[in-house]
Amino acid sequence: MDSFIEQAGLGDILAKVRNEERLSLEDGRRLYECPDILALGYLANIVRERKNGNRAYFIYNQHINYSNVCTNLCKFCAFGKEKGHDQAYEMSLEDVKEKVRERLEEPITEIHMVGGIHPDLPYSYYLDLLRGIKEIRPDVHIQAFTCVEIHHLAELAGKSVGDTLEELKEAGLGSIPGGGAEVFSPRIRELTCEKKLSGEGWLEVTRTAHRHGLNTNATMLYGHIETIDERLEHLDALRRTQDETGGFLAFIPLSFHPKNTELSQLSRTTGVDDLKNIAVARLMLDNFPHIKAYWVMIGPKLAQVALSFGADDMDGTVKEEIITHMAGAETEQALGHRTLIKLIREAGREPVERDTLYNILQTF
Ligand code: V47
């Protein structure tokens, strides 16, 4: 087996992986440039197995996007719309509560809720959303508001990010999803999302959340105009932040969907690039417990294969995904838990239903 990795020119990296040594950015570059996808998978699988054994996780969750009205209007996003646009929407508190009521019979343990940067919804709206959901489903874990939204809410509240997070926690916030990270590079942000909170700003909100006892996820939106070095710098910034705080749960590479965006001339990512991003992330992010293959973006079949390329999590049942579907995703709106279990089992892994914080709820 070692000779196959040596033939791929990665013998020294295999030695580092076996010795649990940190990979350098140069190592990362060689991994991205390596055409031998099986060699990358083999290396990433060593780390996956060390951290998660044969387990592959999924969660019973519900997505709610309370509004797509957004002042940032990022070039890669088909979801965010200017106020007054004919596809712009915002849900009332009652609409959101109704969404939760509609699925009360299902054993949902997490509500994942994000929206745009709305110009005039008041701070109280966001607190009421959290309280309203908890009123109907007191036991559910609410993973809500990206670090970009949290920064906006702190500005609305006229309070520090830390004080705002304390109030949100009090109202029911359980953890923070990984969106809004995009690619931290100032060049990429300038070209694609100049109005958005900076990469450093996103990381600072993250550090504050971790200090206040809130776990968060991290994402990277790849496959548009970013370079390999910019991807690696993004991963390195996450790795350094995790060294400081230890508060990240999972990393989720997000494959760019161009349809209906201002970058619609670009093509979709390939399966090889999707698997490479999973594998390189698993190898570079040696201090992240989990790497998620988000089936909504890369499709359930490739997400299943990704379980042999470094991923240990397929996300969840989801239902009513809007952000990727507005950008042309052709995946289903939801996967039943039985389908997730079958996909995981056929990949040779042990299906594990988890809660948001990766406590094991059920094995199959
Ligand atoms: O923040 C926007 C990205 C994110 C596009 O934390 C796009 O577990 C692809 O963050 N093509 C939202 N991606 C989704 C997200 C997420 C999803 C699932 C699980 C978790 C988690 C987080 O989607 C946005 C943005 O980075 N995005 N437009 C697009 N056209």
Asked whether 355 and 60 are in contact (CB, 8 A), the reply is no
Q: How far is the CA of 83 from the centre of ligand 1 (A)?
A: 21
How many domains would you assign to the chain? 1
Compute the distance from residue 15 Cα to the ligand 1 centre, in Å: 34
C-beta of 324 in contact with ligand 1 (< 6 A): yes
CA distance 4 to 10: 9
pLDDT at 242: 98
Q: How far is the CA of 72 from the centre of ligand 1 (A)?
A: 15
The answer to the question of whether 77 is labelled as a binding residue is yes
Q: Are strands 141-144 and 110-113 parallel, antiparallel or unpaired?
A: parallel
Its pTM stands at 0.98
User: Do the annotations mark residue 76 as ligand-binding?
Assistant: yes
134 in any annotated domain: yes
CA of 16 to the centre of ligand 1 (A): 32
Tell me if 6 is assigned to some domain. Answer: no
Count the Cβ atoms, other than its own, within 10 Å of residue 65.
20
Q: Would 22 be classed as within a structural domain?
A: no
In a domain, 20, yes or no: no
- Residue 19 within a domain: no
Separation of CA 145 and ligand 1 centre (Å): 12
Q: Is residue 41 part of a domain?
A: no
Report the mean per-residue pLDDT for the chain: 97
Residue in 74, 77, 197, 295 to alter for ligand 1 test, most ligand atoms within 8 A of Cβ: 77
CATH of the domain at 125: 3.20.20.70
Nearest atom within ligand 1 for CA of residue 79: 28
**pLDDT tens digits for range 191-201:** 999 999 999 99
Closest CA to 205 of 236, 178, 172, 170: 178
Domain-embedded: residue 337: yes
Q: Determine contact, residues 186/198, Cβ cutoff 8 Å.
A: yes
Domain contains 4:
no
**For residue 190, what are the domain limits?**
54-363
- Assess contact for 116 and 68: CB atoms under 8 A: yes
26-37 confidence digits (pLDDT tens):
999 999 999 999
| ipTM for this model | 0.99
pLDDT per residue of the chain (364 residues) written in tens, 0 to 9 = 688 999 999 999 999 999 999 999 999 999 999 999 999 999 999 999 999 999 999 999 999 999 999 999 999 999 999 999 999 999 999 999 999 999 999 999 999 999 999 999 999 999 999 999 999 999 999 999 999 999 999 999 999 999 999 999 999 999 999 999 999 999 999 999 999 999 999 999 999 999 999 999 999 999 999 999 999 999 999 999 999 999 999 999 999 999 999 999 999 999 999 999 999 999 999 999 999 999 999 999 999 999 999 999 999 999 889 999 999 998 888 899 999 999 999 999 999 999 999 999 999 9
Mutate which of 111, 215, 221 to test ligand 1's pocket (most atoms within 8 Å of Cβ)? 221
Ligand 1 in reach of 254 Cβ (< 6 A): yes
